Every structure is written in structure tokens, then in C-alpha cells.
Amino acid sequence: MKKVLIVDDELDILDSIEAVLEIDGYESLRCSDPLKAIQLLKDQKPQLLILDVMMPTKSGPEILLEMKAMPEIKNIPCILMSAGTAISYDQGTYKWDIYMRKPFDLEDLLSNVKSLI
């Protein structure tokens, strides 16, 4: 079973994404504390990371920079999501694979997940 880590501080977003992934046969891991995301990535080695941009204590792009510096997890693909109207982070620096603006259609998310794993 393909494993997906979802990192978002909004529990309703975690619930929605987890539900749609599990219905489609993915194993979902959820994390609402961005400070725990890197450890979960290292421990669980999911096939995909779904990551929010704006979170307290550590942003999604900060997590990505940390992740991309670690050989054992740097190749995990990432869907970066944000409620912001425009993203102010450079894709070349942070190296996410797909950017989705919230709110998004869960079918579109599922299609993007399938394209990456």
C-alpha cells in the first residue's frame, strides 16, 4: 500500500485529504505539528508528502529545504498547498513537484497524487 504523509495545521483539511486518499486505497499518515514532519518523513519514508505552506513554528518551504538536504528522504515527491493567492517561494529553490491553491477539488488532488506515485 502506498503511504502518503499529510502535514497541515488545519484538522479539517487533514480529515478531508485523509478520507479521499484512504477511499482510493492509500495509507495516510497525518501530522498537524510541522516540527514533527521531518522525523515522520525519516521514520515512515512515505511515497509522497502533501504539505501546507503557512503553519505556525515552521513553514512548508522550510520543511522542504530541510528535507531536500537529507539524502534518505530528499527524493520524496511533494504536493505543496496554500490558501494564499500567490506563492512567494521559488520552485527551483524549494523543489516541490506540484503546487495546489486551497480550496481545491479533492478529485484534482487525487489525480495529482496518482501522477506522482
Q: How confident is the model at residue 84 (pLDDT cuts 50, 70, 90)?
A: confident
Average pLDDT over residues 30-49: 97
Average pLDDT over residues 18-37: 96
Report the predicted TM-score, pTM, of the whole model to 2 decimal places.
Answer: 0.94
How do the domains of the chain map onto residue ranges?
A: 3-116
Nearest to 113 by CA among 79, 80, 82: 79
Q: How confident is the model at residue 87 (pLDDT cuts 50, 70, 90)?
A: low
> Do the beta carbons of residue 64 and residue 95 sit within 8 Å?
yes
Please give the CATH number for the structural domain made up of 3-116.
3.40.50.2300
pLDDT at 86 over 60: no
